[in-house]
């Protein structure tokens, strides 16, 4: 028998994430975000699945007996600290949503011309000595996403900030057509929210009991 409360905890963050992705894909402008923020958003999206999945399964039963519902606060804090640690250890990078590779190449060439007098390409890897950064260009065509991932341990954060500002200024002048992917993501978000809502409405007493058990756990 399914638990409406745990189902809501698992699905609602995913629905919010899908809603954000759908909105981004319906924009008429590309959207630039740092790799750290992109990872944080993904971490928040799967937070519910992690809490009612492996984190709850691995939590010691004695902790629930001794601390009751405060265990969930501690587990949530632990998860968010782990996400923060992953983000802090992540190398610098940028993610550009809603931009095809051909459009990116044209835009990026102008950015390089403005920032770097001596660009050095090796395949899809670019070294920008004056900025103190080296990056690899990755394209995910089905999602029209471009990722600029840092290569090597010696990276200039100020150089990445300059690159981010330049990319933001460059894509601001680009107008793109809203992507059908946006409708798919919004539909997915709606399905997840409807599934969570129906599970609660169909078995409200079970939802209330689960919530009460959570407080007495």
Task: Please give the Cα distance from 212 to 190 (Å, whole number).
Answer: 28
pTM of the predicted protein model = 0.85
Say how far residue 125 (Cα) sits from the centre of its chain: 24
Residues in the chain: 217
User: Which of these, 182, 166, 43, 45, lies nearest to 113 by C-alpha position?
Assistant: 166
User: Which of these, 131, 134, 137, lies nearest to 159 by C-alpha position?
Assistant: 131
Q: What is the pLDDT along the chain (217 residues), one digit of tens a residue?
A: 478 888 899 999 999 999 999 999 898 889 999 999 999 999 999 999 998 888 777 777 776 667 767 778 888 898 999 999 999 999 999 999 988 888 899 999 999 999 999 999 998 999 999 999 999 999 887 778 899 999 988 899 999 999 999 999 999 888 888 888 899 999 999 999 999 999 888 888 887 887 777 666 5
Helices 204-216 + 4-26 axis angle, to 10 = 100
Eight-class DSSP state of 30: -
pLDDT reported for residue 217: 56
pLDDT reported for residue 143: 78
Structure tokens at 110: 């102008």
Task: Please give the Cα distance from 108 to 171 (Å, whole number).
Answer: 9
Backbone angles phi, psi at 59, to 5 degrees: -70, 135
């Amino acid at each position: 028998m399914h638990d409406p409360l745990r189902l809501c905890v698992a699905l609602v963050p995913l629905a919010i994430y899908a809603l954000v992705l759908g909105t981004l894909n319906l924009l008429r402008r590309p959207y630039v975000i740092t790799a750290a923020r992109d990872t944080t958003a993904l971490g928040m999206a799967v937070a519910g699945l992690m809490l009612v999945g492996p984190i709850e399964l691995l939590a010691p039963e004695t902790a629930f007996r001794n601390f009751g519902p405060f265990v969930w606060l501690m587990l949530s804090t632990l998860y968010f600290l782990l996400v923060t640690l992953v983000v802090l250890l992540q190398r610098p990078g940028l993610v550009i949503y809603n931009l095809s590779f051909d459009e990116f190449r044209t835009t990026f060439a102008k950015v390089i011309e403005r920032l770097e007098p001596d660009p050095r390409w090796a395949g899809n890897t670019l070294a920008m000595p004056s900025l103190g950064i080296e990056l690899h260009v990755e394209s995910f065509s089905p999602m029209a996403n471009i990722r600029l991932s840092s290569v090597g341990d010696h990276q200039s954060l100020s150089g990445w900030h300059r690159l981010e500002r330049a990319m933001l200024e460059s894509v601001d002048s680009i107008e793109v057509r809203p992507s059908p992917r946006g409708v798919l993501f919004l539909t997915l978000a709606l399905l997840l929210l409807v599934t969570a809502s129906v599970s609660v409405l169909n078995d409200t007493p079970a939802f209330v009991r689960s919530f009460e058990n959570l407080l007495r756990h």
